Chain A
Amino acid sequence: MTQNVDLEADIGDVLLTEEVIAAKVRELGRQISADYAGRSVTLVSVLKGSLPFMADLMREISLPLRIDLMEVSSYGGATTESSGLVRIMKDLSASIAGEDVLLVEDIIDTGLTLNYLLRYLRGKNPASLRICTLLDKPARRLVDIPVDYVGFRIPDQFVVGYGLDFGERYRNLRFVGVLRPEVYGAAD
């Protein structure tokens, strides 16, 4: 499609192909199914970036499960100037008290968002709270948080695709790629 061709032109290198991602998601699904065997689990997807990963991952988990969605504001977004504090833009739709919860993230970078989310979710008294991320980028990690399931540990590059965006674009790419520096330099 023309639009995706335009988007792909902005990609320097393909870091993770669609096939590689799919294989990893299957692997994670099997692992999660084994670890939670005999139980049900609530997958909490952190919008918006984790949406494709969540959709694929949940179908690889052979367990009774619920899904729920959350969204938190990001620094630099519209809410930054108005409040100066991270906000829950969309909260859980149901209680997680007593539930086994698996937080599904697209990428863990500084760990600041995850740190905030974990504190928030622990306050809702889940029976357990684990973390699954497709991508782990530790180069600028400020908050060291043990992550239970990691798809890929990636180098210090700005990546987009498979849910990850730059300026709300590129989320619909089927792969994870490295954005060409001219693209984000040109956006200044």
Chain B
Amino acid sequence: MSAARGRPSFAHASEAELARILDFYDVRWAYEPDTYPIGWNLEGEVVESFSPDFYLPDLDLYVELTTLRQKLVRKKNRKLRRLRELYPDIRIKLFYARDFRMLMLKFGRMALIDELTGTSGQATPPRPVDPRPQPVAIAEAVAPERPAAGDPPVVPGPMPPRGRRRGRRRHPAPVSAGDGRPTPLEGSGGS
């Protein structure tokens, strides 16, 4: 939501900064308005999902920020690739830590880099605890990056999505496996 409607509780200071930049240039945004299922188990339950940080409705563009360590960047890249495979009509731009630093440099805000990036910029103020199970947490338990022997496999698709979905937008059905090609990842590509 734009500033006029009150600020959401950002998970990271860099997200709050990006929101301020968008507000400054009069670009409407919504914070984590949509959740896209990207992994299902054999029962068709969503076990992994992805919620892009920002949606810019006037530009029909999602923006995802990642300013954290490399391990988490790899995980996010994987999820983003999956998102693009399943929902090729979605436009999404990924800003890595370097992109964010260059934005701060551009706007003369380099002095704030340390407090806005990495672990020091997380959850300020702390987000309220969500008692509902999070899709990512479920995915970690059921289908980690390297599933242990005996764990149920994560089906990459095209199971019908029946997971939790937030926001007002309705999404097209995921593309069946084998249809089309993964869309190349946008963004600077990181350091």
What residues of chain A have their CB less than 8 Å away from a CB belonging to chain B? Answer: 74-77, 80, 84-86, 109-110, 112-113, 115-116, 119, 139-144, 156, 158, 167, 184-185, 187-188
Contacts and interface: CB of A to CB of B under 8 A. Distances in A.
Tell me whether chain A's interface is mostly helix, strand or loop, or mixed.
Answer: loop
Nearest to B103: A140
Contacts of B26: 85-86, 116, 119
A167 B188 CA distance: 24
Interface string B12-41: 000000001111111100000000000000
A75 B21 contact: yes
Contacts of B21: 75, 112
A84 B103 contact: no
B23 A84 contact: yes
A142 B59 contact: yes
A70 B178 CA distance: 51
Contacts of B3: 84
B108 A167 contact: yes
B17 to A, nearest CB: 10
Contacts, number: 67
- 3 nearest A-B residue pairs (beta carbon): A76-B107, A112-B25, A139-B188
Interface in B24-80: 24-27, 56, 59, 61, 63
B25 A75 contact: yes
10 contacts: A75-B21, A76-B107, A76-B108, A109-B106, A112-B21, A115-B25, A119-B26, A143-B27, A156-B188, A158-B102
A99 B98 CA distance: 41
Contacts of A143: 27, 59
A142 B105 contact: no
A110 B20 contact: no
Nearest to A141: B93
Contact of A115 (B27, B63, B103): B27
Contact of A142 (B56, B102, B107, B109): B56
Contacts of B107: 74-76
Given A85-B23, A140-B95, A142-B93, A188 B110 contact: yes
A24 B26 CA distance: 33
B110 A187 contact: yes
Contacts of B149: none
A142 B63 contact: yes
Nearest to B61: A142
Instruction: Tell which of A74, A75, A112 has the most Cβ of chain B within 10 Å.
Output: A75
B99 A184 contact: no
A59 B32 CA distance: 49
Interface string B146-182: 0000000000000000000000000000000000000
B111 interface: yes
Contacts of A75: 20-21, 24-25, 107
A85 B24 contact: yes
B110 A184 contact: yes
Contacts of B59: 142-144
A135 B62 CA distance: 25
Contacts of A86: 24-26
A115 B103 CA distance: 17
A179 B12 CA distance: 29
Contacts of A187: 110
